């Protein structure tokens, strides 16, 4: 958990993913580390939505702040990185007539700079030149989770 507390999220996730069920016997105290690690990994990746922009209903590279609908109650910490995703058209299998998912385009990367209980302010680190961030775009932690 020290890596997590220090903001080293990818390292923390990798370490937690190495804990195996047989490790329960290694830690006979109050905490079942395997179950705790599994619960944390199952909650990843962290996701949310853009709820406000810096100046208008669109953000470009000149405007570098967004607000997201996740905060300390959801485990966000200053320094966490998130990808901003644009959800597009459904992906359909016309042979079986089923929807398999939706197109998702990684349009930007942001870093959390301030955290409140229920929201966070993020600085835009990079954005694809042909895109702009909109309210309701998806954010997703870029340090993974259980697959």
pLDDT at 115: 93
How do the domains of the chain map onto residue ranges? 1-42, 45-147
- Choose between 83 and 102: higher pLDDT: 83
Q: Which CATH class is domain 45-147?
A: mainly beta
Q: How far apart are the first and last CA of the chain?
A: 20
**Taking residues 138-144, what's their average pLDDT?**
77
Please, are residues 121 and 112 in contact by the beta-carbon 8 Å criterion?
yes
Judged against a pLDDT cut of 90, whether residue 139 lies above it is answered with: yes
pLDDT at 103: 86
pLDDT at 73: 84
Judged against a pLDDT cut of 80, whether residue 144 lies above it is answered with: no
Could you report the per-residue pLDDT of 43-64, keeping only the tens digit for each? 567 889 999 887 544 555 455 8
Could you report the per-residue pLDDT of 84-109, keeping only the tens digit for each? 999 888 888 888 888 888 888 999 99
Kindly give the interhelix angle for 9-17 and 33-42, rounded to the nearest 10 degrees.
130
Question: Would the pTM count as exceeding 0.85?
Answer: no
DSSP-derived 3-state class of residue 102: strand
pLDDT at 15: 67
Judged against a pLDDT cut of 50, whether residue 147 lies above it is answered with: no
């Amino acid at each position: 958990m020290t890596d997590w507390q220090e903001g080293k999220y990818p390292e923390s996730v990798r370490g937690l993913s190495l804990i195996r069920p047989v490790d329960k016997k290694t830690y006979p105290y109050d905490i079942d580390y395997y179950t705790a690690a599994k619960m944390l990994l199952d909650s990843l990746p962290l996701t949310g939505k853009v709820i406000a922009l810096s100046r208008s209903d669109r953000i470009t590279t000149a405007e570098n702040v967004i607000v997201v609908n996740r905060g300390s109650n959801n485990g966000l910490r200053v320094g966490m990185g998130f990808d901003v995703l644009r959800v597009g058209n459904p992906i359909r299998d016309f042979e079986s007539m089923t929807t398999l998912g939706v197109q998702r385009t990684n349009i930007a990367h942001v870093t959390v700079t301030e955290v409140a209980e229920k929201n966070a302010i993020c600085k835009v680190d990079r954005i694809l030149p042909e895109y702009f961030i909109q309210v309701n775009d998806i954010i997703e932690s870029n340090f993974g989770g259980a697959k």
